[in-house]
């Protein structure tokens, strides 16, 4: 008689444990990858698959400065199981480039995938010497090759900026293509030709982005354009909205606060299978740091007025989806 209550309690605990683990939805976990330093995410959806593009920090632990030579491609259909496609673009793929594979941006148009890439130019240097080129592929996972053989933007482009990095290209519903880029507090924009390789008009300033530092990113939801960007330094992610991609932009506040041990903050926003995601980097690996960053994914949520709620950063990541 004495054993029965003890057994019952043990069995109850065991069944609770099995129930709990059995029902727990697998989560992606943040940072997403623990054996590779990834930074500056960008993402797109193609054929029911989410493709993630990242840069990579290669500076050894204990040293300072960006050492970035390659970009990587990953994909998932459920947000938990990731296929690693490997490095699909690198400095040496651009004959005109010498170094610094900074934040790229990949976009689909005309059935091809266009990877806009900022790199230090081998010879053109008026300011910091950064230029922006584009590689193209027939599939998001490549192979990619330099589409032009020379950059689209350099230090000598009229009205370019001292640090020509962080491209963001947006193909609007009417098929007009817009090319944004910017850093060190200056942001520029130009229309692009349908060929995705040439500007189609002057480079103009984008006024009215409160606290803008770098990392412009455009997405559209319910007819509203959202301009998210890295703001201040150390950087937060802040945003503005507009009914027109040409502005004026109405400031709406902070969505991702500063990152411990990483002054840079770089975002991508994507909707996949009905879920909105905020993709960013932290210094979250045990040997992470300002130049040793790691990509993470958390949920992005809007309120009933279409405003973006502050992102809740987690180590659990996002749940598996079907
Ligand atoms: O990764 C190098 C630079 O740091 C990127 O271009 C910026 O957006 C910042 O993340």
For 45-79, what is each residue's pLDDT tens digit? 999 999 999 999 999 999 999 999 999 999 999 99
* Sheet arrangement for strand 70-76: 38-46, 49-56, 70-76, 82-90
Is the C-beta atom of 119 inside 6 A of ligand 1? no
Q: How far is CA 83 from the centre of its chain?
A: 18
Nearest to 215 by CA among 186, 176, 195, 173: 186
pLDDT at 86: 98
Residue pair 268/217 in contact by the 8 Å Cβ criterion: yes
CA 66 to ligand 1 center in whole angstroms: 9
Domain that holds residue 85: 32-299
pLDDT at 14: 47
pLDDT per residue over 5-31, tens digit each?
Answer: 444 554 445 444 444 455 789 999 999
Nearest to 121 by CA among 103, 95, 160: 95
E-only strand ranges, the chain? 38-46, 49-56, 70-76, 82-90, 97-99, 105-109, 112-121, 130-137, 145-146, 168-171, 177-183, 186-192, 204-205, 212-221, 224-231, 236-242, 250-256, 268-272, 275-282, 294-299
CA 110 to ligand 1 center in whole angstroms: 28
- Integer Cα distance of 268 and 215 in angstroms: 9
CA 200 to ligand 1 center in whole angstroms: 26
Among residues 57, 146, 214, 238, the one annotated as catalytic is 214
318 domain residue, yes or no: no
Q: Which pair of tokens denotes residue 226?
A: 């959202």
Q: Which pair of tokens denotes residue 101?
A: 């594979």
Residue 200: active-site member: no
pLDDT at 24: 86
Atom of ligand 1 nearest to the CA of 293: 1
Q: Which pair of tokens denotes residue 240?
A: 């503005």
Is the C-beta atom of 233 inside 6 A of ligand 1? no
17 domain residue, yes or no: no
Q: How far is CA 227 from CA 77, 122, 248, 253, 306, in A?
A: 27, 32, 11, 11, 13
**Bridge partners of residue 199, in order along the sequence:** 192
- Integer Cα distance of 205 and 211 in angstroms: 15
Atom of ligand 1 nearest to the CA of 57: 1
Ligand 1 atom 1: the closest Cα is on which residue? 102
307 domain residue, yes or no: no
309 domain residue, yes or no: no
Atom of ligand 1 nearest to the CA of 100: 2
15 domain residue, yes or no: no
pLDDT at 1: 37
**103 contacts: CB under 8 Å, gap ≥ 6:** 39, 40, 42, 55, 118, 165, 166, 167, 215, 266
* Number of folded domains that form the chain: 1
- Integer Cα distance of 54 and 255 in angstroms: 21
pLDDT at 8: 52
Stretches where the chain sits below pLDDT 70 are 1-22
Ligand 1 atom 8: the closest Cα is on which residue? 215
CA 228 to ligand 1 center in whole angstroms: 15
pLDDT at 22: 56
214: CATH: 2.115.10.20
Residue 40: active-site member: yes
181 domain residue, yes or no: yes
pLDDT at 78: 98
């Amino acid at each position: 008689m004495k054993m029965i209550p003890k057994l019952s309690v043990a069995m109850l605990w065991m069944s609770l444990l099995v129930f709990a683990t059995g029902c727990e939805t697998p989560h992606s976990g943040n940072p997403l990858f623990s054996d590779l330093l990834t930074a500056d995410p960008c993402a797109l959806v193609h054929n029911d698959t989410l493709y993630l593009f990242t840069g990579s920090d290669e500076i050894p632990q204990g040293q300072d400065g960006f050492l970035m030579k390659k970009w990587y491609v990953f994909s998932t259909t459920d947000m938990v199981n990731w296929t690693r496609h490997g490095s699909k673009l690198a400095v040496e793929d651009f004959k005109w480039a010498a170094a610094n594979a900074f934040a790229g941006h990949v976009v689909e148009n005309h059935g091809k995938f266009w990877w806009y890439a900022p790199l230090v130019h081998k010879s053109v240097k008026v300011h910091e010497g950064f230029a922006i080129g584009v590689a193209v592929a027939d599939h998001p996972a490549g192979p990619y090759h330099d589409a032009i053989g020379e950059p689209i933007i350099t230090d000598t482009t009229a009205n370019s900026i001292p640090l020509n990095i962080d491209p963001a290209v947006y193909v609007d519903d009417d098929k007009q293509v817009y090319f944004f880029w910017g850093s060190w507090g200056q942001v520029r924009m130009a229309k692009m030709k349908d060929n995705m390789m040439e500007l189609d008009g002057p480079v103009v300033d984008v006024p009215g982005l409160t606290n803008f530092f770098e990392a412009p990113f455009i997405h559209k939801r319910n007819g509203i354009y959202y301009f998210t960007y890295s703001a201040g330094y150390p950087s937060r992610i802040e945003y503005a909205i507009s009914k027109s991609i040409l502005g004026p932009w109405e400031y709406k506040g902070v969505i991702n606060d500063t990152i411990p041990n990483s002054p840079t903050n770089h975002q991508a926003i994507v909707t996949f299978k009905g879920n909105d995601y905020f993709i960013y980097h932290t210094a979250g690996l045990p040997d992470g740091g300002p130049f040793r960053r790691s990509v993470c994914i958390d949920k992005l949520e809007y309120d009933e007025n279409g405003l973006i709620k502050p992102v809740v950063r987690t180590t659990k990541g996002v749940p598996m989806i079907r």
